[in-house]
Structures are given as structure tokens and as C-alpha cells.
Amino acid sequence: MFLLGIEKYRVHEVAKDFGLPTKTITEILTKYAETPKNHMQALTDQELSLIFEYLTQHNPVSSIQVIFADTYKEEPAKEPATKKPEPAGKAAAPAQGQQVRQSVPAQSAQSSQGGRQQPQQQNAASRQVAQIKREGGDASHMMEELGALSARIKALDVQTAEAKAAVENWLMGVPNIPDASVPVGKDETENVEVLRWGTPRQFDFDIRQHWELGGAALDFERATRLAGSRFALYMGWAARLDRALVNFFLDQHVKHEDYIEVCPPFMVNRATMTGTGQLPKFEEDLFKMPAWDYYLIPTAEVPLTNIHAGEVLDEADLPRAYCAATPCFRSEAGAAGKDTRGLIRLHQFTKVEMVRFAHPDDSFNQLEIMVGHARTLLEKLELPYRVITLCTGDMGFGSAKTYDLEVWLPAQNTYREISSCSNCIDFQARRADIRFKPKGGKSTYCHTLNGSGLPTGRAMAAILENGQQKDGSIVLPKALVPYMDGVEVIEPAGKK
């Protein structure tokens, strides 16, 4: 049995633990393996100490049972009255055993206050057992108490792991700290408007909702049969317009700005969702694949930000920018009864996302740049919009500062969010371990930013409502005409 133990723990680990040559360890262990268990006096104190110290670090109870198996099975318990006197200067073996037997329960009681001390106490008790057996004493009671102590250690290990997991789970639910420039407020009614662009058009006819203008090209009835509520089926020109918007957005970001286009996975694992802050707090908002540790992405922010998880970037690489067009999947758990019709709030929609990695000294400047990129898209689409700064009560979980861009929807006679641009400072970088190394300095966390640039569904709704004509046709923004192969006007719904 012992030789199997040596194979299990590996001789080089013993040598590493005690700072001795491998040859020396091998010789000691071989000597022990060849020594009858009832002749342990042949081993020196140093040899016994090394063997016990090593074995009890890994599996105290089973190792001791292997060592003393023959002894305590073959030797019957001795009555105190019949024991031989011990040599002068040494306590009788039963007295030693009794002393240790009294100390083990005390150690167990202390473990509730200091579990980390118990492995050391167990190792010390194990060495006392060795001394008792070496001197011919009875250690059977001690063995039982060591077994109880081992069980206590295992229970404390479980409790420690549970407590650690609870603390980590709580910490993962603590939101980011708002920047000092963020207005204090309780909810969306206290957000602060920064600017407006464009003048909402005045209509001399009854304004129609975008789902009415879409007609059969936006088939919500069949989408409901295919999947359920909050899905859309784009047909004909609507599908083509959706694709045109994606291409227009990506071309703007890649050709005229500094983004690298990415085609990421549309499903990611738990660690990736945790890195950007969706888990564990917002799991109910996600679509999970039950048989796998995969989640459908709610936004391309998740895979794009985690591209550099666990990496150290060069300072010269900052700022670094990515963009991607992906489907986004959201349960809309808290949106019951809101926007039940149309393209505003769906379980699945297409969006182009912008993500930036920035130096901590430059991240708020990068936020302004990102907002400018989203504004450019709306202006080229000739859509009136406004920019607001979210107050503390309306900010997202991981953001230190957020600007929302809201587009004008004539049929609702209001502005609705179409882009949200946030600086998360080092919040996500700490969770995902994304660092950069300054020249001549130690690596530190970079800042991450994300923003919509833009969602195609809400953009299409705004284009249809703002471009509608009295006869039901829709005039497209000039910037989209090349992406629609020269089509300038969408014919009225129902007209062939």
C-alpha cells in the first residue's frame, strides 16, 4: 500500500517540500517500505518526522492508517496496570496518548474560530502518534480522534468554499461607481439633456405607426407563429433595408473611423458573461442553452470586450476599437406590457456595436469620441435626435457615465433611445482581467467603453416614421440609396 502512496504523491514533490535531494528522499521512503510496521524503532526521529510531515500534508488519516495498519490490528489494547515502566526521562506511552486525546477535542473546538490552524494541529498530533507507536504505546484512541479532526477539517473546507463563493457572488453584484460628472437623480425623469440636432418634421396628415407603414414586409403575425411574441419577420424590401443599414453602419465605422470589424460568436460561456457584468446579477434577462454552459449574447459588447480577457496590451495599442454586427437576444423580463407592437422592443434584433479599450487618462475623451460616432450615423440618416446624460438612478450596472442618444419618433411624438454609450472605466477590466503595460511601469487595468452604433430595428422604425408620405410611401435617407441599389422611395404597403 505504501508503494502505491509513493507513486501517488511522487518523490520529486517530497524533495521539493523539504528541500532535500530526490535520492535522499527515495532512500528514506524505501527504507520505510522495507521496515516491518511493528519494528518502527529502526527508523530515526528525523526519518519518521519527514515521512509523517509529508504524508499528513496530503491525506493525514489514510496515510496514518496505512503506516500503522499492521500494528493496531495485531497488537491488542494494553491495560495500564500491565504496562512496563518507561525509561527515565520519558512519560509513559498511555500518558502521552491520554495527553493527546485530551488535546484533539480542544483543537476541534478551536477550529470553529480558526480553521486554518487545524491542518497544522493535525500534523503535530500525527507526529505524536508516531512517537507513541515508536515507543510501543497504544495510539488507537488517538487514531479515532485524528479521524474526527480530519472530518472537521473537511467540513470547514466546505464551509470556507461556500463562504468564499457567497462573498464573491455578493461582490459581483456591486455596481460601478458613478463618475463625479454624473448628475444625481432617482430615475429617468431626472436625466439631463445635453443637446438636440435636427427639427422634427411637421405633418399635414395623420401620422402612421411604423408597423402600419411596413405592411406585409414587417410580418409580426407569422413571426408570432414561428417563435412567439416580440419577434419580427422581415420580408422583401424590409429585409433588404435591414441589410443596407448593417452595411452602412459598418462601412462608416471601418472606412471613416478607427474600428476593426469583427465577426464574433453569437453565444458565449459563463465566464465571458461575467466579465462584462451580465452575470450573475442579470441572468433572468438572458437566454441560456440548458444543456450547455452557453448564453446567447444580449449585445456584441460581451464578446468584443472579452477578446482581450486575461491579456496584457501594450500601451501603444491604446486606444483600440472594435465593431461587430450581430443578432442580440434579450428576454425583456422587466418589460411586460411595454412596446408590445412594432420593432422597438424585441427578443431578437440586429445591432452594430462599438467597443473601445482606452488608457485610464484618456477614457472620458474616448467616450465623447464614441458618442460622436453614433451621432454621425443619425445625422447622415437625417433623423432628429437628442443626447442626454443619464443620472445616477438610471445608469446601467457597469457604467461610470452614460450618454443616451434618443431618436425622434413622430407617431409617438417623443424621443426614444436608439444608442447608449458608456464608459465602464476599469469595472469590466477587473472582472475580465484586461490590462495594459505602461512604458517602464507595472501592468494595470485599462478602461473599456461600449456603445450602440446602431440597432437596425429602431433605426428602421425611425426611418419609416420620419420618411412617411401622405400616400403611405417612404422616402429613404440619401445615405442609404447606394446601399439599396438606387431605390429612393419605398412604395406604399399593399401596392404592387
- Could you give the residue numbers annotated as active site? 330, 345, 417, 420, 458
Neighbours of 487 (CB within 10 A): 16
131 Cβ neighbours under 8 A, 6+ residues apart: 48, 96
DSSP label at residue 490: E
**Amino acid letter, 195:** L
Which residues, including other chains, have CB under 8 Å from residue 195's CB and lie 6 or more apart?
Answer: 386, 387
Give the three cell numbers for residue 440: 517602464
Alpha-carbon gap, residue 329 to 138, rounded angstroms: 68
Helix, strand, coil: what percent of the chain each, to 5? 50, 15, 35
Helix 2-9, helix 22-33: angle, nearest 10: 160
Alpha-carbon span 458 to 417, nearest angstrom? 9
Give the integer Cα–Cα distance in Å for 126 and 468. 86
Please give the Cα distance from 130 to 433 (Å, whole number). 47
Place of cell 428602421: 460
For residues 223 and 284, give the distance between their C-alpha atoms in angstroms, rounded to a whole number. 23
Mapped onto helix, strand or coil, the DSSP state of residue 363 is helix
Report the C-alpha gap between 33 and 492 in whole angstroms: 93
Q: Is 421 exposed, middle or buried, given 0-12, 13-18 or 19+ CB atoms closer than 10 A?
A: buried
- Cα separation, 204 vs 346, in Å, equals 31
